[in-house]
Amino acid sequence: MTVSALTRPGERERLIVKLSEVDWVFVLVLCLIAGAGALMQFSIAGSSWQPWAAAHVIRFALCVLLMVALAMIDIRVWFALAYPIYGLGVVLLIAVELVGDVRLGAQRWLSLGPVSFQPSEMMKLGIVLALARLYHGVPADRARLSWWLLIPAAMIAVPVGLVALEPDLGTAMLIALTGTAIVVMAGLSWRLIGIGIAGALAAVVPVVTFVLHDYQRERIFTFLHPETDPSGAGYHILQSMIALGSGGLLGKGYGLGSQSQLNFLPEKQTDFIFATLAEEFGFVGCVSILVLYAAVIFMALRTAYVSHSHFGRLAAAGATATFTLYVLINGAMVMGLAPVVGVPMPLLSYGGTVILTVMIGFGLVQSVRVHRYAEVTSGKGSFV
């Protein structure tokens, strides 16, 4: 939309109407979570805005503006771009395997001049959009149980396999679980779900033995028995559990957490910031943050429910599933209930990539809300 178009009264009124349809309570709750993250990063830096808190606030503020801008995009535009975004994501993942940058033993990044990025982050949105478009207009019997399900299975397996090769087990798992969640929400037969769960359980031992890298197997064994190597592989989990337990009911107080302030807790600003929060604010602080996360998930799913198009419902629910998985996996990880896989707590942890990914997903959710009455046809990019 051009600047001149925005000056026309009709266009201005339409923009104002769209802005009024954004769920501003939803935005406020996101700000509360991100604000809590900034306060924790300020605390663990020794009451300093540098190096984490200031950057976190600036990145989040820019991403809020981006989310609102994306909410203005018609849901039918998202529908038209679904397959191209997915296809571009797959091409970029292949490019990572061929010419990607190697950092810390993993080949996950592409560099375009001064800009470096991870295409795997793009696939978290790409898989949501592509599967939502695929299932739009699909008869219930095909979505429930048929050979046609091999198509969405392949669409999930391709990016998961490419990301796992980088290797990036955490992101591969997120993409796989998000794609599976969309297939289930689209109406997959419960009988097939049961068979899939049984098959996944049966595949655990062969996958761990023959597929995972040595360091990934070590993470799993460390998760099961962290006490066998308390100063080595088990250090992260044990220090996290100490921080969680030492906080008690109300915590030690803001800026008084010994595990984080004395640098016993590793990755205290990213993967283990929830443990930092637990140490300083205790059980009450943890529950308060989890209530905010639950409110975000509830409001996003409510948006999916009110959409008049199947594409909108699945797209909003899929973006919400990605966010939910971030919270569940990180929470389980810091509590010693899951292996350490490098999945941060969204909006609370420091890191621009995760904030950008989450807020783009919520931009899609808000677009579904703003355009919830739009009818999306199954024609090739056609609007009605």
DSSP notation for 80-113: HHHHHHHHHHHHHHHHHHHHPEEETTEEEEEEET
Helical ranges in the chain per DSSP H: 3-6, 9-21, 24-44, 53-71, 75-99, 119-135, 140-144, 150-164, 169-185, 190-206, 214-224, 235-246, 258-261, 273-306, 310-334, 352-370
- For residue 169, the model assigns a pLDDT of 82
- For residue 233, the model assigns a pLDDT of 66
Tell me which H or E stretch contains 271. Answer: none
Question: In 3D, which of 333, 317, 326, 320 has the Cα closest to residue 351?
Answer: 326
Beta bridge pairs of residue 376? 383
Cα–Cα distance, 260 to 43 (Å, whole number): 9
Contact between 347 and 358 under an 8 Å Cβ cutoff? The reply is yes
For tokens 């559990």, the residue is 241
Contact between 51 and 45 under an 8 Å Cβ cutoff? The reply is yes
Output the tens digit of pLDDT for each of the chain's 384 residues: 444 444 465 677 788 888 889 999 999 999 999 999 999 999 988 888 988 899 999 999 999 999 999 999 999 999 999 999 999 999 999 988 887 776 666 677 777 777 777 888 889 999 999 999 999 878 777 777 777 888 999 999 999 999 988 878 888 989 999 999 999 998 888 888 888 788 877 877 787 776 666 766 776 777 777 776 666 667 778 888 888 888 888 888 888 877 777 777 777 888 889 999 999 999 999 999 999 999 999 999 999 999 999 999 999 999 999 999 999 999 998 888 887 777 889 999 988 788 999 999 999 999 999 998 888 876 543 333
Cα–Cα distance, 134 to 155 (Å, whole number): 10
Cα–Cα distance, 245 to 336 (Å, whole number): 12
**pTM of this structure:** 0.87
List the Cα angle 277/281/284 in 5-degree steps: 110
Question: In 3D, which of 218, 229, 237, 266 has the Cα closest to residue 335?
Answer: 237
Non-local (6+) Cβ contacts of 34 within 8 A are 56, 57, 60, 347, 348, 355
Cα–Cα distance, 251 to 237 (Å, whole number): 19
Contact between 279 and 241 under an 8 Å Cβ cutoff? The reply is no
Give the torsion through C-alpha atoms of 307, 309, 310, 311, to 10 deg: -100
Question: In 3D, which of 151, 134, 144 has the Cα closest to residue 193?
Answer: 144
Torsion-angle region of 104 (φ positive above 0: left; ψ -120 to 50: alpha; else: beta): left
Question: In 3D, which of 368, 384, 364 has the Cα closest to residue 21?
Answer: 368
Tally Cβ neighbours within 10 Å of residue 265.
26
Non-local (6+) Cβ contacts of 245 within 8 A are none
Using only C-alpha atoms, the chain has a radius of gyration, in whole angstroms, of 22
- For residue 254, the model assigns a pLDDT of 86
